[in-house]
Structure 1
Amino acid sequence: MLRATVGFAVVAGVAFTGTVEAGAQSAQTAESRKSAAEQVLYYNHSYGVVDRETADAVENSDFLREFANFEVRTTSSGDLTWKGRYLYGGQTYIELFGTGDLPGQDANFGSSSVAYSTEHDGDLAKVSQGLRDQGYNKLDEFLQSRNFGDGVLVPWFDGVQFPVADYPYDAFGAWAMEYREEYFSDPRSKTGPASYPGDTSRQRYLPDTYKDHQMRDLTRIRFAVTERDLNTQLPLFKAGGLDIKQVPGGVLVKDGLTTIQYDVVPADKVGLKQIQMSLNASVKDRHVERIGNSTLVVGPGTSAVWTFDKP
């Protein structure tokens, strides 16, 4: 899902200015979590706009089709249509675009975004309330629908973000989302049954076909973003109860499975830098695959690292 209407704000209360005191949370686990806010958001997916050579190489890579549950898909939602290159895990996924694939400034090389989702029906309202508790009363709370090709829009998910009309951004944004039961109930969604009352989980949404490949899930993603864009999104991460920790040069945001590393850089240095993945089984040998201006290293062991170079 691309950022269609995401907006961004400069945030004073939890800005990255050498400390992230207001945004810092303790470690988030099901067994022991001592953060001030209840965790209700979990990494769902993200996207990055890479150079055209790399996007085309990803799209045509035979290796990626073996390595992961990989798909090139054109999606329609309302009056927007986009083609993405998707790698799906058991609970997380990522989509890659080439320069020029998206509308407006989001088509620029280095543009990126992250979406977090809820696991229980009704938790998105807690995120909105958490933002209002921080003083953000002007929110874009929206319904995203999907067209499966017959022209009929099916409710897909509810979302919340900062309204684009009010807040400028450089190249990065984020939003929170909650899948709709109407989408799960549509057989064309190919989603699973609920595992518990109010199940809106990523595991229900994504297929189990990742088990037929090496890649299991995304464990760490590294983005280079401007300070303004990072400052903008910290209140959303805080409202979702995510673990926010300052590190030299940036911030780590953890949900218990996937860590997002944000490096603060000038505007001309932004973009997706690296993806780390867990594997379904340990591999003995190290495999290096060059894909456009990127390098995917698989093994040895139970992990893989995909590094993107600026062309």
Structure 2
Amino acid sequence: MLIRRTLRMIIVFAVALTGAIGGGVGTAQAEGSRSSHDRQLLFYNHSYGVLDRETADAIEHSDYLRDFANFQVRTTTGTGGQTWTGRYLMGRETYLELFGVGDLAGQDGTLGSAGLGLSTERAQDLATVTERLKDEGVTDPVEFLQTRDFGDGVPVPWFDAVLTATEYDAFGAWAMEYRPEYFADPRSNTEPASSPGDVGRERYLSDDYRTHLMRDVTSVRLAVTEGDLADTVPLLRAGGFAVRTVTGGGVVAERGGTTIRFDAVPREQAGLQRVDMSLNRPLKDRHVERIGRSTLVVGPGSRAVWTFADNGTR
């Protein structure tokens, strides 16, 4: 739900008020397969990708996806009246957001742009993440509040967020924590807290996933530039992910239920490459669904794999 077009507007406003941007991200890199911190604070919330127009339109009008997942095409109004229309596949705790070329303005709407949202499960954990970032070489992380307008012109606090860099090639990641005001608003259609301080993903998303096949995103693979990857690694490590390097200069981040792989590539090869999903029930047979220039393979077993490697990014 969060796109960099909105982030940039908020950041520029914050800079004008406080002069907050300075120092930035150091040269922190992944080392081995360890995490710098013991407790996992951040978890995969969602990722998004900008696909070729043919694929995005095919996704939007796919009858199969409406059966496969809790699927929606929805327009959201965020901070400052910024709006975006995304195609959403929502699971129990995680979801996927997809755009087509030109759906977003400027740089954010170009082929291969992508993003990653990581969220906390307990209130106040975002503050700890922000402190941990300093240990990872981020001298001045950017903090901001995202709001949501449900249609009455009154912004409702949605979530607090922090990111490590304001400049990017094609990819950005941020940490977020849902606000109590959002959960308290009946229009959010969220669930009651399961325990004190519960701001988790399962509470945020509806239980409509139960009537479909898709349960959750278990793995995501993104191709990003070296610069964007360098800005992302400190956030992953501050959140408690175990980050290890892989052949070719990429990294894999594990822990928290969803594996996130980044391949280091030139800008023209950047983009969302693959998403693995768990299913609510095992399937006996294998189903292959061609959606635009992407391929979704569902089953056999309790797994689905959606590849976007041929969506025009290569």
Could you state the TM-score of these two structures normalised by the residue count of structure 1? 0.91
Q: Which residue of 2 aligns with 1:144?
A: 146
**Aligned match of 1:110:** 112
Root-mean-square deviation (Å) = 1.6
SS at match of 1:5: helix
Instruction: Tell me the equivalent position of 1:306.
Output: 306
Matched-pair contact (CA < 8 Å) for 1:174–1:233: yes
Contact 2:42 2:256 in 1 (8 A): no
Deviation string 1:119-156 (CA, Å, 9 cap, x unpaired) is: 00000000110112334232211010000011110000
Q: Give me the identity figure in percent.
A: 59
Does the C-alpha gap of structure 1 residues 153 and 303 become closer, same or farther in structure 2, counting only changes over 3 Å?
A: same
Contact kept? 1:140, 1:163, Cα under 8 Å = yes
Amino acid at match of 2:207: D
1:138–1:163 Cα contact (<8 Å) kept: no
Q: 1:79 deviation in Å? A: 2.2
Structure 1 runs (4+) greater than 4 angstroms displaced: 6-10
User: Aligned residue for 2:39?
Assistant: 38
Secondary structure in structure 2 of the residue aligned to 1:146: strand
Alpha-carbon distance in structure 2 between the residues aligned to 1:57 and 1:252:
30
- Give 2:240's aligned amino acid: G
Q: Which residue of 1 aligns with 2:254?
A: 254
Q: Is the 8 A contact 2:25 2:138 kept in 1?
A: no
In 2, the alpha carbon distance for the partners of 1:190 and 1:111 equals: 30
* Separation (CA, whole Å) in 1 of partners of 2:116 and 2:87: 16
- Where structure 2 has 5 or more consecutive residues not aligned to the other structure, the ranges are 12-20
> Which residue is equivalent to 2:51?
50
Q: How does 1:1-311 map to 2 (within 5 A)?
A: 1=1, 2-3=3-4, 4-5=6-7, 11-14=26-29, 20-21=30-31, 24-25=33-34, 36-77=37-78, 78-164=80-166, 168-249=167-248, 250-308=250-308, 309-311=310-312
Counterpart of 1:29?
none
Q: How much does 1:256 deviate?
A: 2.8
How far did residue 13 of structure 1 move? 2.5
Higher helix share: 2
Alignment-mate amino acid for residue 288 of structure 2: V
| In structure 2, C-alpha distance between the alignment counterparts of 1:310 and 1:277, rounded to whole Å | 19
Letter in structure 2 aligned against 1:287: H
Q: Partners of 1:65 and 1:310 in 2: how far apart? A: 21
Kept after mapping to 2: 8 A contact 1:5/1:163: no
Partners of 1:274 and 1:197 lie apart in 2 by 36
- State the TM-score, normalized to the length of structure 2: 0.90
Is the Cα contact below 8 Å between 2:89 and 2:97 reproduced in 1? yes
One-letter identity of the residue aligned with 1:257? G
1:56-109: CA deviation from partner (whole Å, max 9, x where unpaired): 000000000000000000000122100000000100001000011112211110
Judge conservation of contact 2:33–2:244 (CA < 8 Å) in 1: yes
